[in-house]
């Protein structure tokens, strides 16, 4: 299904007065208002194809119904999200969960909804039916060269699919690691991973990047071969300019200062981009901003400051993507909330009084520095986001329109109450 524009306009019309009052209240205090609104309009976040169904846990999956049954229907769902928020203009595919067998038709379908394709993700962390060799003991780091070759070939195949879709990056996450001390020679595993990645790197088109994602544990619980940003950074440095480190917010042990990692990777030109999500315990893949929105703001504060210092364009210099999926919310509502949380953090970071902060840092005025950051963080920027959406042709309140228009019910009518999508 598609959401007609006039329905969004009608809803906006009803909310306009209320919106204007809230917007005027906040906007009056904002310097560079139009520049900030334009930055918010330009800022888009990619939707992962695997987040459109109700996610599973190891212990069960409870589908809400009306889930997309095919890649075409997943694209339709992203189209709905984008029509509502005008901030989700791309989709990231995980292969083989979503194989674009007819790339030109898929591309045309997406383009018709104003969408394009973000990074393509390879998958060597599961065995697929009819796969010759198993990844039980790893893929790119495997002790058996034949397994490594199979995993390399898969990555190269994913690049080929990506080329057909006009993607510009391959995202690699490996579950390779060990569950028990002694199982693996860690140096050997790292060297074999590097060698395998070098072969994949060779197959990258000139205008492509490979994004190397890290994660400390799960599914392996003793060691992970690309377990932290240092290991990823080492690999991406050895590989070359086209390789960078991808930061998935859930892939850090508790208490790690993610914003500091982000700032240094950015400084070195090695920040590929993000998989946004939130977590309380581990790789929980919860809705962005649901647990620790202040951390998200601090990350954006580093991004805005670091990108401005390097003359980078916020909207397009790195990859912005959600990687969240779980089993109690309607996935479309969840994604609308995640995009909103990311843009709130971005807008707040844009409000930081940078010259004053620089001066406070220079004066070692710790109290004032904190006040400056929290002045921005505690500003309710939601009406700025709404105004940017309104100017971009989206809904003042995407979630409210989604519910008023009973979109999930229509999807259930169309696809069935038992439709379960592929993915996690």
| Number of chain residues interacting with Mn ion (CB under 5 A) | 4
Residues 258-297 binding Mn ion (CB under 5 A) are: 275, 283
Contacts of 415 (CB under 8 A, 6+ apart): 65, 66, 67, 68, 69, 73
Q: Cβ–Cβ contacts within 10 Å for residue 351, how many? A: 21
Residue 173 in the binding site for ligand LRH (CB under 6 A)? yes
Smaller CB separation from ligand LRH, 321 or 385 = 321
Q: Taking Cα atoms as reference points, which of 390, 314, 392 lies closest to residue 349?
A: 314
> Closest separation between CB of residue 92 and ligand LRH, Å?
9
The pair of structure tokens assigned to 151 is 């995993």
Q: List the single partner that 67 binds among Mn ion, ligand LRH, none, CB under 5 to 8 Å by kind.
A: none
| Member of 248, 330, 333, 334 binding ligand LRH (CB under 6 A) | 248
The answer to whether 384 and 396 have CB atoms below 8 angstroms apart is: no
What residue 121 binds from Mn ion, ligand LRH, none (CB within 5 to 8 A, per partner kind)?
Answer: ligand LRH
Nearest in space to 236 (alpha carbons), one of 177, 171, 178: 171
Whole-number minimum distance, CB 220 to Mn ion, in Å? Answer: 13
Minimum Å gap between C-beta 173 and Mn ion is: 6
**Contacted by 389, from Mn ion, ligand LRH, none: CB < 5 to 8 Å by type:** none
Whose structure tokens read 């906007």?
27
Q: For residue 324, count other CB atoms closer than 10 A to its CB.
A: 27
Locate all alpha helices (DSSP H) within 28-144, ordered by sequence: 33-42, 71-85, 103-112
Closest CA to 91 of 118, 129, 71, 120: 118
∠ CA 327-325-344, rounded to 5°: 120
Q: How many residues interact with ligand LRH (rule CB under 6 A)?
A: 10
For ligand LRH, the binding residue among 148, 209, 275, 343 (CB under 6 A) is: 275
Would you state the structure tokens that stand for residue 205, as one six-digit string?
Answer: 């088109």
* CA distance linking residue 391 with residue 94, whole number of Å: 32
Among 67, 73, 278, 323, binds Mn ion (CB under 5 A): 323
Closer by beta carbon to Mn ion, 118 or else 323: 323
Separation of alpha carbons 246 and 232, rounded Å? 8
| Shortest separation between residue 105's beta carbon and Mn ion, angstroms | 28
Three-state SS for 119? strand
Of 50 and 161, CB closest to ligand LRH: 50
CB closer to Mn ion out of 88 and 325: 325
Nearer to ligand LRH, 40 or 424 (CB): 424
Smallest gap from residue 214 Cβ to ligand LRH (A): 10
Q: Is residue 118 within the footprint of Mn ion (CB under 5 A)?
A: no
Between CA 382 and CA 22 the distance in angstroms is 9
* 123 Cα distance to chain centroid: 17
C-alpha–C-alpha distance, residues 368 and 376, integer Å: 13
Q: Strand (E) positions, 1-97? A: 47-48, 90-94
Q: Quick check: 94 binds Mn ion (CB under 5 A)?
A: no
If binding is defined by CB under 6 A, does position 215 make contact with ligand LRH? Answer: yes
Query: Per CB under 5 A, which region of 161-169, 220-228, 244-252, 259-267 contacts Mn ion?
Result: 244-252
Tell me which residues in 50-79 interact with ligand LRH (CB under 6 A): 50
Question: Would you call 83 exposed, middle or buried from its count of C-beta atoms within 10 A (0-12, 13-18, 19+)?
Answer: buried
Least CB distance to ligand LRH at residue 6 (A): 37
Q: Where are the beta strands (DSSP E) in 175-312?
A: 177-178, 209-213, 223-224, 243-248, 271-276
283 binds ligand LRH (CB under 6 A): yes
Output 46 or 419, the one with its CB closest to Mn ion: 46
Q: What is the DSSP-derived secondary structure letter of residue 51?
A: G
Smallest separation, CB 312 to Mn ion (Å): 22
Q: Please tell me whether residue 213 binds ligand LRH under the rule CB under 6 A.
A: yes
C-alpha to C-alpha distance for 389 and 404, rounded to whole angstroms: 18
248 binds Mn ion (CB under 5 A): yes
Q: Does residue 73 interact with Mn ion by CB under 5 A?
A: no
CB nearer to ligand LRH: give 299 or 351: 299
Q: How far is the CB of 219 from ligand LRH (least distance, A)?
A: 9
Least distance CB 215 / ligand LRH (angstroms): 6
For residue 182, the 8-state DSSP code is T
Rule CB under 5 A: which residues touch Mn ion? 248, 275, 283, 323
Rule CB under 6 A: which residues touch ligand LRH? 50, 121, 173, 213, 215, 248, 275, 283, 323, 424
């Amino acid at each position: 299904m598609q959401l007609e524009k006039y329905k969004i306009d009608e809803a906006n019309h009803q909310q306009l007065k209320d919106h204007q009052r809230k917007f005027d209240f906040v906007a009056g205090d904002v310097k560079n208002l139009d520049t900030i609104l334009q930055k918010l309009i330009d800022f888009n976040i990619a939707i992962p194809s695997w987040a459109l169904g109700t996610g599973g846990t190891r212990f069960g999956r409870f589908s809400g119904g009306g889930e997309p049954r095919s890649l075409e229907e997943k694209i339709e769902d992203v189209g709905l999200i984008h029509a509502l928020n005008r901030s989700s203009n791309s989709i990231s595919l995980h292969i083989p969960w979503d194989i674009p067998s007819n790339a030109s038709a898929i591309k045309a379908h997406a383009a018709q909804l104003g969408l394009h394709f973000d990074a393509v993700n390879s998958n060597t962390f599961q065995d697929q039916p009819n796969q010759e060799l198993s990844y039980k003991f790893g893929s790119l780091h495997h002790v058996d060269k034949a397994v490594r070759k199979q995993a390399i070939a898969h990555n190269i195949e994913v690049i080929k699919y990506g080329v057909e879709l006009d993607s510009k990056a391959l995202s690699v996450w490996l579950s390779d690691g060990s569950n028990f001390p002694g199982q693996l020679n860690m140096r050997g595993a790292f060297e074999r991973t590097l060698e395998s990645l070098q072969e994949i790197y060779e197959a990258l088109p000139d205008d492509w990047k490979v994004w190397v994602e890290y994660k400390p544990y799960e599914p392996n619980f003793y060691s992970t071969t690309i377990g932290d940003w240092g290991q990823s950074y080492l690999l991406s440095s050895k590989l070359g300019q086209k390789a960078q480190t991808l930061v998935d917010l859930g892939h850090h042990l508790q208490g790690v200062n993610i914003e500091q990692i982000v700032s240094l990777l950015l400084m070195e030109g090695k920040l590929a981009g993000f998989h946004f999500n939130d977590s309380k315990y581990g790789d929980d893949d919860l809705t962005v901003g649901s647990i620790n929105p202040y951390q998200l703001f601090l990350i954006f504060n580093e991004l805005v400051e670091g990108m401005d210092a390097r003359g980078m364009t916020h909207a397009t210099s790195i990859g912005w993507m959600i990687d969240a999926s779980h089993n109690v919310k309607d996935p479309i509502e969840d994604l609308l909330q995640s995009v909103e949380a990311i843009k709130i953090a971005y807008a707040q970071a844009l409000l930081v009084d940078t010259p004053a902060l620089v001066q406070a840092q220079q004066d070692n005025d710790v109290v004032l520095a904190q006040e400056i950051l929290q002045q921005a963080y505690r500003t309710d920027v939601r009406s700025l986001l709404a105004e940017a959406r309104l100017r971009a042709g989206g809904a003042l309140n995407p979630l409210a329109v989604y519910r008023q228009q009973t979109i999930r019910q229509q999807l259930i009518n169309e696809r069935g109450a038992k439709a379960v999508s592929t993915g996690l």
